[in-house]
Chain A
Amino acid sequence: MELEILVSHFQSKDMKAFEKLYAMYSENICGVINTIVKNTDLAEEICQDVFMKAWNNAESYNASKGRFFTWIMNIARNAAIDELRSKSNKNSKQNLSSDFFVDILESKDDLNSQMDTIGIQNLLKNLKEKCVQIIELLYFKGYTQKEAAEELDIPVGTVKTRNRNCISQIRGNIAI
């Protein structure tokens, strides 16, 4: 309920509420962007832009249509993908459909594992590659169920259940 009040204050341009929401989600949003652009400096830049977009379009969020985090994550995904497609990244070798986010997670984990409350190794423990793939497509790249099914060459119905199982595994790893 706290979150709902915070969001409604944010929507009426309350800077304090916005600051709290920023504190709650900025790392996550930067993380989502980083999985797409795979460039920490660029990710941070886009991340700030995303929060500016959120502020400027605050009134367009409707709680009945989804979670606040889902809304802002969607803005982040679109901004990051736009950036990748933009001219400034034309020559970049980075590719949306290869290179799983797990690389980032692992490299970051190697560099500074103490920073994370839940280590990435723990989070992804026992997670199969097909889980990493489907999570990346659905959460970090904004694929629809159908698009993910085509990408992974599996039936549409399987996307839902496989994703459910993968998320459950992560949840299990958090609980440990």
Chain B
Amino acid sequence: MDVNKYITSGILELYVAGTLSEEENLEVARNAEQYPEIKEEILAIEAAILALSKAAAPLRSGSKGFNDIMRRIAALSDTKVITMTDSKTNWFTYVGWAASILLATGMLWMYNQNTQLKSEINVASQTNEVLEQQIFEANTSLEKSKELLNTIRDKNIEVIALGGQTVSPTSYAKAYWNKAEQKVFIDAKGLPEPPDGMVYQVWSLKLSPLTPTSMGLLEDFKNDDNKVFAFANPNESEAFGITLEPAGGSESPTLEQLYTLGAV
């Protein structure tokens, strides 16, 4: 390449002016790298323009100075976020807020619904437990009744009716005696509720001579549902009697308080 011709063509002056095409710019830059004369020429042209433009500068040029620039850069990094939200993103901000409020409201509603449903489930499951308990109890009660019925229907059972006595003529009771198993069931449904501090006591009697043997107490008479009480009875009983005794029972029956009596 004829470097001198290239220089004198005036392309370098236009390069410094910045009026060349991008392609031409690249070409000049490449040549400047390759030929030091070209690079020097470019610097000399630039120096001329620098001198000229400096001469055209305002008298107080640079009075604001770099401090002003630094202040503005600092302010720029401080307020960048604010300016962005201020200018273009207003619409987005509103939509954003609206969306978050909607979301929050929705979540609150869902939360309330959830809590309510949970409490409903809780109540339902509690009711369920109560019902299950009742079913269980009913079943148990049914079992007991069946068992009782079976016991009473046993072919070895001897039924003894106990009639009301002087102190309470309307009272009655029944004794179901399974001699083989040495068990006696007393059905005391026909007895009045004992007064407080008193308890019924069941006696096995031998008649001649009259020998009472305590079989036990009708404990917790008031709260017993079916009023059927089971006792062990290894005695050769000839009669059964029920007397009212002070709580805890007595050694021997208080005959004045004999409520029912029945002979085998």
Chain A residues close to B by CB (< 8 Å):
15, 18-19, 22-23, 25-32, 34-35, 40-41, 43-44, 47-48, 51-52, 55-56, 63-67, 69-71, 73-74, 101, 104-105, 108-109, 111-112, 115-116, 118, 120, 123, 135, 138-140, 142-145, 160-161, 163-164, 167, 170-171, 174
Contact B59–A167 (Cβ < 8 Å): no
9 closest pairs, A vs B, by CB? A164-B10, A40-B58, A31-B56, A31-B57, A160-B10, A31-B53, A28-B53, A70-B18, A27-B57
Residues of A within 8 A of B64 (CB): 44, 48
Give complex CA distance A67, B47 in Å.
12
Q: A48-B68, A143-B19 are in contact. List 8 more A-B contacts (CB 8 A).
A: A26-B66, A28-B50, A30-B57, A64-B26, A66-B29, A67-B16, A73-B18, A115-B59
User: In the complex, which of the residues A23, A26, A67, A112 contacts B46, with contact meaning CB atoms closer than 8 Å?
Assistant: A67
Contact B61–A44 (Cβ < 8 Å): yes
A78 to B: closest C-beta gap in Å? 11
Residues of B within 8 A of A104 (CB): 56
B130 within 8 A of A: no
Give complex CA distance A25, B29 in Å.
21
Tell whether A163 pairs with B59 under 8 Å between CB atoms, given A22-B69, A74-B18: no
Q: Mark B48-72, 1 if CB is under 8 A from A, else 0.
A: 1111111111111111101011101
Tell whether A65 pairs with B29 under 8 Å between CB atoms, given A74-B18, A164-B13: yes
A158 to B: closest C-beta gap in Å? 10
User: In the complex, which of the residues A63, A74, A120 contacts B55, with contact meaning CB atoms closer than 8 Å?
Assistant: A120
B38 within 8 A of A: no
Contact B60–A139 (Cβ < 8 Å): no
Contact A55–B60 (Cβ < 8 Å): no
Residues of A within 8 A of B46 (CB): 67, 69-70
Residues of A within 8 A of B58 (CB): 30-31, 34, 40-41, 43-44
What are 25 contact pairs spanning A and B, CB under 8 A?
A26-B66, A27-B54, A30-B61, A32-B56, A44-B58, A44-B63, A48-B72, A51-B69, A52-B69, A52-B73, A52-B76, A66-B29, A70-B15, A73-B18, A73-B53, A108-B56, A116-B54, A118-B51, A138-B19, A139-B17, A142-B18, A161-B10, A164-B8, A164-B9, A164-B10
Contact B50–A30 (Cβ < 8 Å): no
Chain B residues close to A by CB (< 8 Å):
8-11, 13-19, 22, 25-26, 29, 42, 44-64, 66, 68-70, 72-73, 76
Chain A binding surface SS class: helix
Tell whether A108 pairs with B48 under 8 Å between CB atoms, given A74-B18, A164-B13: no
User: In the complex, which of the residues A31, A73, A170, A171 contacts B54, with contact meaning CB atoms closer than 8 Å?
Assistant: A31
Contact B51–A170 (Cβ < 8 Å): yes
Residues of B within 8 A of A27 (CB): 53-54, 57, 61-62
Give complex CA distance A38, B70 in Å.
26
Tell whether A32 pairs with B69 under 8 Å between CB atoms, given A44-B60, A71-B18, A142-B19: no
Contact A19–B25 (Cβ < 8 Å): no
**Which of B11, B55, B76: most chain A Cβ within 10 A?**
B55
Residues of A within 8 A of B25 (CB): 64-66
Residues of B within 8 A of A160 (CB): 9-11, 13-14
Give complex CA distance A167, B99 in Å.
64
